[in-house]
Amino acid sequence: MENIIQIKNLTFDYIRESDEGSETIHAIRDVSLDIPEGSFTAIIGRNGSGKSTLAKNLNGLLLPTGGKILVNGWDTADEAHIWDVRQTAGMVFQNPDNQLVASIVEDDVAFGPENLGVPPKEIRERVDEVLKSVDMYPFRTKSPHLLSGGQKQRVAIAGVLAMEPRCIIFDEPTAMLDPQGRQEVMRIIRRLHEEGKTVILITHFMDEAAQADRIVIMDDGRVIADGTPGEIFADEETLRRIRLDVPLAVDMAHRLREYGIPVPADIITQEKLVEYICQYK
Amino acid sequence: MLRDITLGQYYPGSSPIHRLDPRVKIIATLLFIVELFIVNNFIGFAICAAAMAICVIVSKVPLSFIMRGLKPIIIILLFTFLLNIFMVDGKVIWTLGPLEVTKEGLITAIFMAIRLILLIIGSSLLTLTTTPIRLTDGIERLLSPFERFGLPAHDIAMMMSIALRFIPTLLEEADKIMKAQQARGADFESGNIMRRAKSLIPILIPLFVSAFRIAQDLAMAMESRCYRGGKGRTRLHEMRFHRKDVISMIVLFVFLAGIIVERMLVESDI
Ligand SMILES: Nc1ncnc2c1ncn2[C@@H]1O[C@H](COP(=O)(O)OP(=O)(O)OP(=O)(O)O)[C@@H](O)[C@H]1O
Ligand SMILES: [Mg+2]
| pLDDT tens-digit series, residues B215-238 | 999 999 999 999 998 888 998 988
Please tell me whether residues B229 and B258 are part of one structural domain: no
Grade residue B31 by pLDDT with cuts at 50, 70 and 90: very high
The pLDDT, as a whole number, for residue B215 is 93
Maximum alpha-carbon separation in chain A: 68
More confident residue, B246 or B2: B246
The pLDDT, as a whole number, for residue B4 is 47
B96: which strand partners?
Answer: B99
- Nearest by CB to A141, from B12, B225, B237: name it: B12
- What pairing do the DSSP bridges indicate for beta strands A167-171 and A198-202? parallel
Has residue B141 been placed in a domain? no
Q: Residues B120, B121, B126, B130: is their CA dihedral positive or negative?
A: positive
Domain region containing B197? 154-237
The pLDDT, as a whole number, for residue B1 is 40
Q: Which of A49-53, B4-8, B127-131 has the lowest mean pLDDT?
A: B4-8
Q: Which fold has domain A37-65+73-230?
A: Rossmann fold (3.40.50)
- Nearest by CB to A116, from B10, B165, B226: name it: B226
Mean of per-residue pLDDT scores for chain B? 86
The pLDDT, as a whole number, for residue A236 is 76
Please tell me whether residues B86 and B178 are part of one structural domain: no
Percent of chain A with pLDDT over 90: 72
Alpha helices in A23-76 (DSSP H): 51-58
Pair B164, A101: CB distance under 8 Å: no
Please tell me whether residues B101 and B170 are part of one structural domain: no
Chain A interface test: which of B2, B10, B210, B225 (most A C-beta within 10 Å):
B225
The pLDDT, as a whole number, for residue B258 is 93
Please tell me whether residues B3 and B122 are part of one structural domain: yes
| Residues having CB within 6 Å of any atom of ligand 1 | A 14, 16, 25, 27, 45, 47-53
- Nearest by CB to A102, from B12, B161, B223: name it: B161
Q: Which residues lie below 8 Å from residue B170, measured CB to CB, with a gap of 6+?
A: B207, B210, B211, B214
Reduced to 3 states (helix: H, G, I; strand: E, B; else coil), residue A10 is: strand
Are the beta carbons of A115 and B162 separated by less than 8 Å?
no
Are the beta carbons of A145 and B221 separated by less than 8 Å?
no
Per DSSP, which regions of B68-190 are E strands? 92-96, 99-102
Contact list, A107 vs chain B (CB under 8 Å):
131, 133, 236
Give A43 Cα–ligand 2 centroid separation in angstroms: 11
Supply angle C-alpha B148, B149, B154, rounded to 5. 65
What is the total count of domains within chain B?
2
Are the beta carbons of A98 and B217 separated by less than 8 Å?
yes
Three-class SS string for A108-160? HHHHHHHHCCCCHHHHHHHHHHHHHHCCCHHHCCCCHHHCCHHHHHHHHHHHH
pTM of the model: 0.83
Percent of chain B with pLDDT over 70: 97
Has residue B135 been placed in a domain? no
d(CA A148, CA A184): 11
C-alpha radius of gyration, chain A, whole number? 20
Of the listed ligands, the closest to the CA of A53 is: 1
Reduced to 3 states (helix: H, G, I; strand: E, B; else coil), residue A252 is: helix
A92: which strand partners?
Answer: A170
Has residue B142 been placed in a domain? no
Q: Which of A66-75, A246-255, B199-208 has the lowest mean pLDDT?
A: A246-255
Are the beta carbons of B164 and A98 separated by less than 8 Å?
no
Please tell me whether residues B109 and B10 are part of one structural domain: yes
Please tell me whether residues B20 and B117 are part of one structural domain: yes
| Mean predicted confidence (pLDDT) in A84-92 | 95
Has residue B136 been placed in a domain? no
Please tell me whether residues B124 and B230 are part of one structural domain: no
Please tell me whether residues B190 and B89 are part of one structural domain: no
| Mean predicted confidence (pLDDT) in A121-131 | 96
Pair B200, B188: CB distance under 8 Å: yes
**Is the confidence at residue B5, as pLDDT, over 70?**
no
Region for residue A90 given its phi and psi (left: phi exceeds 0; alpha: psi -120 to 50; beta: otherwise)? beta
Residue B44, class by beta-carbon neighbours within 10 Å (0-12 exposed, 13-18 middle, 19+ buried)?
buried
Q: Which of A74-88, B105-119, B121-135, B186-200 has the lowest mean pLDDT?
A: B186-200
**Is the confidence at residue B91, as pLDDT, over 80?**
no
**Is the confidence at residue A126, as pLDDT, over 70?**
yes
Please tell me whether residues B124 and B250 are part of one structural domain: yes
ipTM: 0.87
The pLDDT, as a whole number, for residue B8 is 59
Pair A12, A64: CB distance under 8 Å: yes
Question: pLDDT tens digits for B108-166?
Answer: 888 888 998 999 899 889 988 988 888 888 999 999 899 889 889 999 999 988 988 88
The pLDDT, as a whole number, for residue A16 is 87
Grade residue B22 by pLDDT with cuts at 50, 70 and 90: very high
Question: pLDDT tens digits for A5-41?
Answer: 999 999 999 998 888 888 899 999 999 999 999 999 9
Residue nearest to atom 29 of ligand 1 (CA): A48
Please tell me whether residues B39 and B115 are part of one structural domain: yes
d(CA B128, CA B126): 6
Please tell me whether residues B210 and B259 are part of one structural domain: no
Has residue B140 been placed in a domain? no
How many residues can be counted in chain A? 281
Has residue B144 been placed in a domain? no
Has residue B143 been placed in a domain? no
The pLDDT, as a whole number, for residue A198 is 96
Please tell me whether residues B104 and B214 are part of one structural domain: no
Grade residue A1 by pLDDT with cuts at 50, 70 and 90: low
Residue whose CB lies within 8 A of the most ligand 1 atoms, among A52, A54, A94, A222, for a mutation test? A52
d(CA B152, CA B159): 11
The pLDDT, as a whole number, for residue B2 is 47
Q: Which residues lie below 8 Å from residue B196, measured CB to CB, with a gap of 6+?
A: B188, B189, B190
**Helix H or strand E segment including A227:** strand A222-227
**Is the confidence at residue A82, as pLDDT, over 70?**
yes
Residue nearest to atom 24 of ligand 1 (CA): A47
Give A26 Cα–ligand 1 centroid separation in angstroms: 10
Has residue B145 been placed in a domain? no
Are the beta carbons of A107 and B133 separated by less than 8 Å?
yes
Question: pLDDT tens digits for A257-279?
Answer: 888 888 887 787 888 888 888 88
